[in-house]
Amino acid sequence: MITLRGLTKRFGDKTAVDGLTLEVAEGKVTGFLGPNGAGKSTTMRMIVGLDRPTAGEALVGGRRYAGLPRPIREVGALLDAGFVHPGRSAQAHLTAMARSNGIPRARVDQVLGLVGLESVAGKRVGSFSLGMRQRLGIAGALLGDPAVLMFDEPVNGLDPDGVLWVRRLMRGLAAEGRTVFVSSHLMSEMQLTADQLVVLGRGRLLADAPMAEVIARGSGNAVRVRSPRAADLAERLAAVGAEVGRTDDDELRVKGLPIERVGLVAYETGVPVLELSAVAASLEEAYMDLTGASVEYGTGMAEQR
């Protein structure tokens, strides 16, 4: 488990992380979301001791990272796939990590096979693509077989097959009871991968809730109704407090009422219904609702949604 208590980091007059308090539990994939500059990478760096908090604390299994007796066996992290000496081979890089941490040599071959790099294990990392470096970074995170794993944008540079592999890996690790904390800007992929979501905006916690709960808050949730008397139904639905939009001559998009209530209103009004269905918001829509006021580097596109 990862525990953050009042975690704060300031760089001069800029507050990158502002009083962050939360727990990242074991046995699930926790997605870590937020706009650029929200403080996600800084938070992860503080968890593993690369940045020192201005205030508060970050604990792994109840201890600060610096106090862990065998950190690589307790916490595995991929924070920067490019942070590998380009002149070393993948095998040499992992072997050096293993020897310095008392990990058997056989484990190096095991993780290289797990991430699909056994055929290029002897090649220099400088010749690797970004996707191959991501796989090597994941291998390094898994090397000590830790109970806590953190990944910062692990699918960058991966092809669709690689993205699917990462998704299955994350979920498999969580199913083993491990703590999996992963950041990404790919909302569609995060929706398929994460169980729990933590959302930051300008360094502050905007949400810490199950995936389904976050999506349920999204403004995209609605009821679609098709009727040859759509205008009559729209008038009646508006009279009972619904927000009604006309999307076609015979189609309405209704917000503010559950689907059962919309159907009942249509029945009471005597309006024939050709279709009645729930429209669920996507994670992307819910995320945009949450973070719209927290985007630090806006382009003006939000107003066009």
Alpha carbon distance 299, 152 (integer Å):
24
231 pLDDT higher than 50: yes
Report pLDDT digits (tens) over 243-271: 999 988 899 999 989 999 999 999 999 99
Alpha carbon distance 189, 186 (integer Å):
5
Residue 290 pLDDT: 87
Alpha carbon distance 33, 243 (integer Å):
30
Element of type H or E holding 135: helix 130-142
Which residues 6+ apart lie within 8 Å of 218 measured at CB? 281, 282, 283, 285, 286, 289
Q: Give the CA dihedral 44, 78, 65, 10, nearest 10 degrees.
A: -30
47 pLDDT higher than 90: yes
Element of type H or E holding 96: helix 90-100
Report pLDDT digits (tens) over 59-117: 999 999 999 989 999 999 999 888 888 899 999 999 999 999 999 999 999 999 999 99
Topology of domain 222-279, CATH = Alpha-Beta Plaits (3.30.70)
Alpha carbon distance 85, 103 (integer Å):
20
Reading the block at residue 262, the tokens are 């919309």
Alpha carbon distance 182, 223 (integer Å):
33
> C-alpha angle with apex 4: 25 to 102, nearest 5 degrees?
70
Q: Where are the beta strands (DSSP E) in the chain?
A: 2-11, 14-24, 28-33, 55-60, 75-78, 148-152, 179-183, 196-201, 204-210, 222-226, 243-248, 251-255, 275-279
Residue 298 pLDDT: 56
304 pLDDT higher than 60: no
Amino acid making up residue 226: R
Q: In what order do the strands lie in the sheet with 222-226?
A: 243-248, 251-255, 222-226, 275-279
**What is the pLDDT averaged over residues 147-174?**
93
Alpha carbon distance 284, 187 (integer Å):
5
CB 244 within 8 A of CB 256: no
CB 82 within 8 A of CB 156: no
Q: Is 277 helix (H, G, I), strand (E, B) or coil?
A: strand
Alpha carbon distance 210, 32 (integer Å):
12
Residue 245 pLDDT: 92
pLDDT band at 296 (very low <50, low <70, confident <90, very high): low
Q: What is the mean pLDDT of the chain?
A: 91
Indicate the burial class of 160 (C-beta count within 10 angstroms; 0-12, 13-18, 19 or more).
exposed
Tokens 């002897």 belong to 122
Q: Which one has a higher pLDDT value, 212 or 55?
A: 55
The domains of the chain are located at 2-209, 222-279
Least confident window among 86-95, 102-111, 159-168, 282-291: 282-291
**What is the pLDDT averaged over residues 159-182?**
95
Q: What is the CATH number of domain 2-209?
A: 3.40.50.300
| Polymer length in residues for the chain | 305
Tokens 């040859």 belong to 228
CB 140 within 8 A of CB 78: yes
